[in-house]
Amino acid sequence: MADGPAVLGLGAAERAAYELLIDRPSATVAELRPEWTLQEPLENLLARLEERGLVQHDPGPPVRFRAVAPGIAFDAVLVRHEDELERARRHVDILDAAYQARPAVRDTTSVIEVVTGARAVGQRLRQLQSSARTSIGYLAWPTSLRDEDPLTRGLTCRAIYDRSAIEHPGALATVERLIDAGQLARVLPGLPLRLFLADDKIAALSLLRHPAPMDAILVVHPSALLDALVALFDGLWQRALPMHPPANRAGPVAPRLVTLLLSGLTDEAIAHQLNVSHRTIQRRVAALMSDLGAHTRFQAGVQAARRRSADDGPP
């Protein structure tokens, strides 16, 4: 209850008195008083809690108090707050519909919003992510700026990765964790910008090319520019190849090797990601190229990924 006394309508002293009774079947005021550290009289608080239906007493002597089960005591309060929250959501939907239906204006500030400063950027991105209702798209987006929250909310999450997104230590493991959680991931090197899409209704893109810090972004509202960004993402998604992490992280390296080859990482960077020697990666890349008849490392990654997609079914 420490996080919700205000929502439940309890003051700090009332909450403390109620919690004193939670851990015991019943108790007298005399039994409770040695553990009471607040100045407000315990008898007055118990009387107020009893009026609210949170505490009951058994006739004495001596009079013994016992807490009403929280699931019963607070059920009506929680239902009331749930109803208020639902009404608030409906009101926000009405306001949003009015906002979207407002007459188009020529002022470009209504289309593009500039956000600068790492803290402000992080706050705005979290706001955009939490506002998404159906889908999210990430293009060359740093893994450090994402978590599984959209996936736990049942959103469709598509991510296109390139070298800058997974070259840092531990980044591949983060990507695999997100894929395990339900993210749809593909890989394509040389992505032109970092882009975030929420419901295809709003976008955020970095002002600086990766791998520069994410400390300045453009937020793009419904417009022809947003339509172009959505089309760009969809086109790159069609070109990118699916990522399939191995079910057993300690198992064969080959599937992860293909992902890293497609991302354009050097042999040394791949060795660091897979925690094997540089020489081992060189041997495995050479063997993969020979087996597939590929002339370049990237070509080997493409052919291996396509072969795997054909074995697993349509991507």
- Per residue in 137-173, pLDDT (tens digit) is 998 876 544 566 788 888 899 999 887 667 776 777 7
Q: What pLDDT does 219 receive? A: 93
Q: Which CATH number fits domain 5-72: 1.10.760.10, 1.10.10.10, 3.90.1150.10, 3.20.20.70?
A: 1.10.10.10
Q: Phi and psi dihedrals of 181, rounded to 5? A: -80, -10
Say which CATH architecture domain 111-242 belongs to: 2-Layer Sandwich (3.30)
Q: What pLDDT does 134 receive? A: 92
Q: Is 189 exposed, middle or buried (0-12, 13-18, 19+ CB in 10 A)?
A: middle
Q: What pLDDT does 229 receive? A: 94
pLDDT tens-place string over residues 101-113: 666 554 555 788 8
Sorted by where each begins, the domain ranges of the chain are 5-72, 111-242, 254-312
Give how far Cα 232 sits from Cα of 34, 201, 225, 238, Å: 69, 14, 10, 10
Distance CA 244, CA 246 (A): 6
What's this model's pTM, rounded to 2 decimal places? 0.56
Q: What pLDDT does 37 receive? A: 86
Q: What pLDDT does 315 receive? A: 38
The reply to whether 254-312 shares the fold of 5-72 is yes
Spans of the chain, pLDDT less than 50:
1-2, 106, 144-145, 248-252, 313-315
Q: What pLDDT does 248 receive? A: 45
- The CATH code of domain 254-312 reads 1.10.10.10
